[in-house]
Chain A
């Protein structure tokens, strides 16, 4: 377990590299397609601020994902901190940038008791109950949020595409089975299903994402299935079939590309939903370590304190709000741009 934990940062570094490569490939592919590059430009024209905001969040998350052991610490850094992998974000804060307990933003003294701080006036967003810098924690939360949204989407989208396309395209028995699984999962209240799954799978970021994936793919699968039904009946698909193109070929060349706009819209909508449901899971004690949801849950105690401790909640809620707001703005725009039905809306 300990060993695995140590190696986790190497995996994380590799994932970052893979993501960057993937993003570059996707970008060049999109540039080549007229439809996608026009959509991209249109999006940038309509929602520049929201796009930049999202980009900032992604950058922070990436910076926090690149980590290595040792080096770069200050003289009096704790020995143990040196032996742990620290990310680029961690390295922007000194390892001993800590207080004993709560302190308000930019305060000189501790919130309770009023003893002098070790780093007076430097904690931009104050410190939490253990004296950790709230700005640091908030920045680290971005990685968790994107991890939840990203990893879960990576589970949801391929699963829903696979199930939805095979059900819609082949019909018959396969459709019956898929539809049965979908109806069964959809019948169970999703929050309860989520709780039960996490209880069964165990805690941890990957487990939580898997559980959210299992509960989340159902809705998208239905859409894909319906859309595939329609596409299958289109003339050129029928023609390709008559010409003897293999089933796989048809799916890859004619069905899948025509579903891509749905994938993008779903991803955007799914994303904010996932980040918000993690906050609810945190309330139930089964969230992911270091998430904004946990910071908000921690504030359950702090809100009722008198005098109130607001900065922890404020930081996490603001970060969450800004991210979700940007995603929503972009999502609305993407839907408008990609969905042929609403093109004439204005």
Chain B
């Protein structure tokens, strides 16, 4: 068992190195440091200031190999800074990236956690309901509503939600954020509602597929033959056996919670990591983007290792190789 954990972790580390190499290729081989400098210093800055910025930010170093000082290359810097979690400064405003991530995590999680929890409960509950009434009005209406929900633009939900609840019903502020817990609820209610409405269609479709796959299995037929009620089968057997795909999806989506939501945060003025990423994309802030993608990948790999280990603990047969 221990050997398996060690091996699995070592493999995870190799994947991390692969991710880093890919990130380097994506972000730095095509990067145009002078343009990044222009975005950072200002449109009207003269060329010599831009060059100075490029040197100050380490983009003037050789990419792969430096004959004079072998460790002094962009790729070496890249691996060094990522593996030591010293993400350095943002390319757009020079603020320390780690500090900003720490500051943005709270607001992001305060949005994504309730969104995730409610989404899971409603998604699983409703899809169980829909799967139970397969090939009836409920199922077909469910498909229509879900697909409708999926094909409507996110923006429509946001603008519609703000209009309805913030502007007509006037229950909650249209946008804004306050870190103190009591007041925060008022600001979060609307984005959580909007996010829930937006994501529900897709997750019901997903869970419905899982449940329908389960209902086709032998044990369901056996249970039915034994005279079990359909509702009982759904609630006890099917839900129970569908736990593995559901849990896999849950564990795998947990790392993404910390990245926040790009659109919701921008529109509702939540100072989280999603809104920070939109800024980074718009402002060509490669250093921040790279750090965010790297942390996301790291969490994802970690979550996968944990699920794999959990599987082997639960079911020793899974330990294949």
| A contacts B directly (C-beta below 8 A) | yes
Question: With an 8 A cutoff between CB atoms, is A200 at the interface?
Answer: yes
Residues in A neighbouring B26, C-beta threshold 8 A? 193, 196-197, 199-200
> How many B residues have CB within 8 A of the partner chain?
47
Interface contact B14-A180, CB-CB below 8 Å: yes
CA distance A200 to B221 in the complex (A): 52
* Chain B min CB distance to A197 (Å): 7
Question: In the bound complex, do residue A187 and residue B300 qualify as a contact, i.e. CB atoms below 8 Å apart?
Answer: yes
- Whole-angstrom distance between the Cβ of A175 and the nearest chain B Cβ: 9
Assess the B281–A184 pair: CB atoms within 8 A.
no
Q: Report which of B16, B29, B159, B281 forms a contact with A195, defined as CB distance below 8 A.
A: B281
A183-B301 Cα distance, complex, nearest whole Å: 9
Q: B residues within 8 A CB of A268?
A: none
Are B289's CB and A192's CB within 8 A?
yes
On chain A, the residues within 8 Å of B244 by CB distance are none
On whether the beta carbons of B147 and A192 are closer than 8 Å, the reply is no
A residues less than 8 Å from B263 (CB atoms): 283
Chain A residues 175 to 208 lying within 8 A of chain B, measured CB to CB, are: 180-181, 183-189, 191-193, 195-197, 199-200
Do residues B213 and A342 form an inter-chain contact, with CB atoms below 8 A?
Answer: yes
Residue of B nearest to A340 (CB): B216
- Given A325-B144, A342-B212, A346-B134, A317 and B153 touching (CB < 8 A)? yes
Is B49 interfacial (CB 8 A cutoff)?
no
B216 touches A189 (CB 8 A): no
- Hey, what's the 0/1 contact readout for A223-235 against B, CB within 8 Å counting as 1? 0000000000000
Q: A180-B15, A184-B22, A325-B144 are in contact. Are A200 and B29 (CB under 8 A)?
A: yes
Q: Which of B1-54 contact A (CB under 8 A)?
A: 14-16, 18-19, 22-23, 26-27, 29-30
CA distance A144 to B27 in the complex (A): 29
- Interface 1/0s, chain B 199-214, versus A by CB < 8 A? 0000001000100110
Is the pair B30, A200 in contact by a Cβ cutoff of 8 Å? yes
Interface SS majority for chain B: helix
Does residue A276 face the partner (Cβ distance < 8 Å to B)?
yes
- Chain B residues within an 8 Å CB radius of A342: 212-213, 216
Q: B166 near A: Cβ within 8 Å?
A: no
Asked if B159 contacts A303 (CB within 8 A), the reply is yes
B216 and A344 contacting across the interface, CB-CB below 8 Å: yes
Closest A residue, CB atoms, query B151: A321
A192-B293 contact in complex given A180-B15, A183-B15, A184-B15, C-beta closer than 8 Å:
yes
Total A-B Cβ pairs within 8 A: 114
B134–A283 contact, CB under 8 A?
Answer: no
> 0/1 per residue, A262-298, Cβ < 8 Å to B?
0000000000100010011001100000000000110
Nearest chain B CB to A48 CB, angstrom units: 15
Give chain A's interface secondary structure class: helix
A276-B150, A329-B143, A346-B135 known; A341 vs B293 contact (CB < 8 Å): no
Q: Known interface pairs A197-B26, A324-B147. Does A279 touch B153 (Cβ–Cβ under 8 Å)?
A: yes
A317-B147 contact, Cβ under 8 Å, with A184-B18, A188-B297, A189-B296: no
Cβ–Cβ < 8 Å partners of B213 in chain A = 341-342
CB neighbours of A279 from chain B (8 A) = 153
Task: Confirm or deny: A101 has a beta carbon within 8 angstroms of a beta carbon on chain B.
Answer: no
Give CA–CA (A344, B221) in the complex, Å: 9
4 additional A-B pairs beyond A186-B300, A200-B30, A313-B153, beta carbons within 8 Å, are A187-B19, A188-B23, A196-B26, A328-B143
B residues at A contact (CB < 8 Å): 14-16, 18-19, 22-23, 26-27, 29-30, 134-135, 143-144, 147-148, 150-156, 159, 205, 209, 212-213, 215-217, 221, 256, 259, 262-263, 277, 281, 289, 292-293, 296-297, 300-301, 304
Contact sample, A vs B, 7 pairs, CB 8 Å cutoff: A183-B304, A187-B301, A196-B289, A196-B293, A324-B151, A328-B147, A346-B134
Chain A interface residues toward B at CB < 8 A: 180-181, 183-189, 191-193, 195-197, 199-200, 272, 276, 279-280, 283-284, 296-297, 299-300, 303-304, 313, 317, 320-321, 324-325, 328-329, 332, 335, 339, 341-346
